[in-house]
Amino acid sequence: MNNSIERIQGKNKIFFGTNKETNEKIYLDKPTWDCNWYWSFGYLGSKNCHYHLSGYNSKTHVFTTDKGELKHITESRNKHMYYCLLEDYELNDTIKENLWSFCEQARTIYTIKDAYEVIHRGGSNYTHHPLKNKVKDSRKASSWATKLLPELLQRFWNDFGGNDV
């Protein structure tokens, strides 16, 4: 893959919001080109936690049992990203005021990123796909990695606080 991929310009992270359950401030990391073949995107966290925006439909509850044991229960929610984010976070003003656009852009990036990874590898990478040679499209994968995804990611970063433009 092309080594001359342009980096996303702007701050390394932005304040995403405050987790309503823990009252912890959560930050969104700037998208980066990693391992010379994929775009990382949607990394959320603080000094105490790290998780992914794409996991918005899962909510983990931590509690202590009567015996003093720490337990984790993960709830799978069948809700749109918009409603999950409003339920879980006191979002920063820019994201909150533009939440539908935030969700649209984030899901579009995830969808294209997933499709890119399939055409880059020639399958979903569980095993060898019998039509790998038809699925794999190095030219299109290169174009998406070097042009389409960087443009989408830069626009997302600009729109939601990564650049003061």
**Domain contains 8:** no
**Domain contains 22:** yes
Query: What are the residues facing 13 on neighbouring strands?
Result: 29
Residues 6+ apart with CB under 8 A from 161: 11, 14, 15, 92, 94, 95
8 A C-beta contact, residue 97 and residue 85? no
d(C-alpha 148, C-alpha 96), whole Å: 26
**Domain contains 4:** no
Tell me how many domains the chain contains: 1
The domain in which residue 28 lies consists of 13-159
Name which of 49, 51, 72 is nearest 60 in CA terms. 72
**Domain contains 63:** yes
Whole-prediction pTM value? 0.86
Query: pLDDT per residue over 61-75, tens digit each?
Result: 677 888 888 777 777
In terms of Cβ atoms closer than 10 Å to its own Cβ (0-12, 13-18, 19+), residue 100 is exposed
**Domain contains 40:** yes
Query: pLDDT per residue over 122-155, tens digit each?
Result: 999 999 999 999 999 999 999 999 999 999 999 9
**Domain contains 164:** no
**Domain contains 25:** yes
**Domain contains 165:** no
Q: How confident is the model at residue 91 (pLDDT cuts 50, 70, 90)?
A: very high
